[in-house]
Chains A and B, each alone.
Chain A
Amino acid sequence: MAPTDPLDDFIVAAAEALALPIEPAWQPAVRAHLEVTLRFARLVEEFDLPDDAEPAPVFRA
């Protein structure tokens, strides 16, 4: 069996879990977009914030 790529595997599994139909032809573009988004996500996660940091939108009852 050919080795699989973790991100491709994640896309296939997430699509199934979310009931999102993805045709095989779309997957390279989805993967490229997800790679960029996750790279940006790491940049955000690397920034140290205190535990009591509040998100920008604050709900008021």
Chain B
Amino acid sequence: MPIDLAEATAAEIAQAVRSGETTALAVTEAALARIARLDPLLGAFTDVTAERARAQARAIDAARAAGKPRGALAGVPFAVKNLFDVKGLATRAGSKINRERAPAERDSPLIERLEAAGAVLLGALNMGEYAYDFTGENVHDGASRNPHDTSRMTGGSSGGSAGAVAGRLVPLALGSDTNGSIRVPSSLCGLFGLKPTYGRLSRARSFPFVASFDHLGPFCRSARDLALSYDAMQGPDPDDAACVNRPAEPTLGALERGADGLRIAVAGGYFATGLTAEAQTAMSRVAQALGARRTVELPEAQRARAAAYVITAAEGAGLHLDRLRQRAKDFDPAVRDRLIAGAMVPATVVNRAQKFRRWYRERVLALFDEVDAILAPATSCTAPLIGQQTFRLDGVEMPVRPNLGIYTQPISFIGLPVVAVPIPLAPLPIGIQVIAAPWREDVALRIAYALEGAGVAAAPRPSL
């Protein structure tokens, strides 16, 4: 049976291109046709780099014809959140203001590494303005729409990244995660998403938000694809001051070991409060499938979330202070008003929050002496409606925009690696977080792979 290019994973496409079953150009043309047909419904892409993609695909096919080695991602179409530098495009970062910038002169190193492995860049993706967002809505470019129900939000801020992968436009997209912007849209769109350890993947030539919390990572429809793309992007980069000088630690080969021998616990307390029935169902299914009977408490998780919130407000405001002074009316009002408030947060509190952060980090790391991974919800609920301003959280009506990430913030706050794993509930999916110790992405990916193999986790196909 010929390969279904819309549904195929990155691994399957690369295999088909390497074997000659199809060509990189055929894969690229099929993806461009899907984008032309479906993106008007989804609002995922802000730029389509069709000619660049065709040239890259032809080069891959020529290399194959010449008998040269093909990369692990040969012919795999991908796209990136529009805060990544793409040569020739202005890096808009979801804003009106930044699109006036000069086009980027060089690609982000993560794009360079994926292309070196044979992947084909198809364009840049919609996002919440300056990444200060959990909804995927954008006042300038329109909302990213959830492929499972286009009246609902994708989650954000990497909304276009999730919409493009869940909508089968591309099998791989990159996003960023400062407080949950990979994990929240992965949950609402039913995808596998990886937020690696802080400092693992280079953030050079991407537009920042909160320097000490910013991470980049992939969205895919399988755990294997996460490992494949993550392995291709690892490695030191002197252009990012936070990127560690640590050799790559490939994860793909470890997947088959699954969850065997791993000590897995469920996060209690804060993470067991405020869940909808859907989130509870997802957590129970996963815990049962993994035989995770132990509960651990991340101490002071609520305070950790509060500290992350305060640091984000202040650091974000610091980043944008000049733009707030000179171009306030050109911001999305929902972002502008939060940033202005952030500029008024006393520095004394930010300093206390950073001291608390060290305390919290030490206590949470101590948990990993006794367990290898911790399970927690990714979001409290399935996708809210686009434009929905409030939702009920633990019986209280709360604003959606800042509160979709209550379970993700206390984790990125201390840079732990997390795989968001999709649980295909009907009518809408929801995700859980598999959290591991620093530099143990392999552990989280093995568990995601095991859940996928057991039929508990899957990226459901939308009926578009």
Contact = CB atoms under 8 A, between A and B. Distances in A.
Nearest to A55: B354
B340 interface: yes
Counting chain A residues whose Cβ lies within 8 A of the other chain, the interface size class is 20 to 34
Contacts of A22: 328, 340
B340 A26 contact: yes
A20 interface: yes
Contact of A37 (B212, B302, B309, B351): B309
Given A18-B343, A43-B302, A49 B333 contact: no
A37 B345 contact: yes
A38 B367 CA distance: 30
A5 interface: no
A26 B343 CA distance: 15
A34 B355 CA distance: 22
A9 interface: no
A18 B307 CA distance: 23
B361 A41 contact: no
Nearest to A14: B344
Interface in B327-363: 328, 333, 336-338, 340-346, 349, 351-359, 361
Contacts of B356: 44, 47, 49
A55 B337 contact: no
Interface in A22-56: 22, 26, 29-31, 33-34, 36-38, 40-41, 43-45, 47, 49, 53-56
Contacts of B343: 14, 18, 20
A49 B355 contact: yes
Contacts of A41: 306, 310, 345-346, 349, 353
Contacts of B354: 55-57
Contact of A56 (B309, B340, B349, B358): B358
Interface residues of B, number: 38
Nearest to A58: B358
B307 A44 contact: yes
A26 B336 CA distance: 9
Interface in B295-309: 300, 302-303, 305-307, 309
Contacts of B358: 53-56
Contacts of A33: 313, 337-338, 340-342
Contacts, number: 100
A49 B307 CA distance: 14
A44 B340 contact: no
A26 B333 CA distance: 8
A45 B349 contact: yes
Contacts of B340: 15, 20, 22, 26, 30, 33
Interface centre among A21, A44, A49 (most CB of B within 10 A): A44
A15 B324 CA distance: 11
Contacts of B68: none
A37 B313 contact: yes
A28 B112 CA distance: 45
A46 to B, nearest CB: 8
A45 B356 CA distance: 9
B325 interface: yes
A34 B341 contact: yes
Interface of B: 212, 300, 302-303, 305-307, 309-310, 313, 321, 324-325, 328, 333, 336-338, 340-346, 349, 351-359, 361, 402, 414
Interface of A: 10-11, 14-15, 18-22, 26, 29-31, 33-34, 36-38, 40-41, 43-45, 47, 49, 53-57
Given A20-B328, A20-B343, A37-B342, 20 more contacts: A14-B344, A19-B325, A20-B325, A26-B337, A30-B337, A31-B341, A33-B340, A36-B309, A37-B310, A37-B313, A41-B345, A41-B349, A43-B306, A44-B349, A45-B349, A47-B356, A49-B356, A53-B355, A53-B359, A56-B355
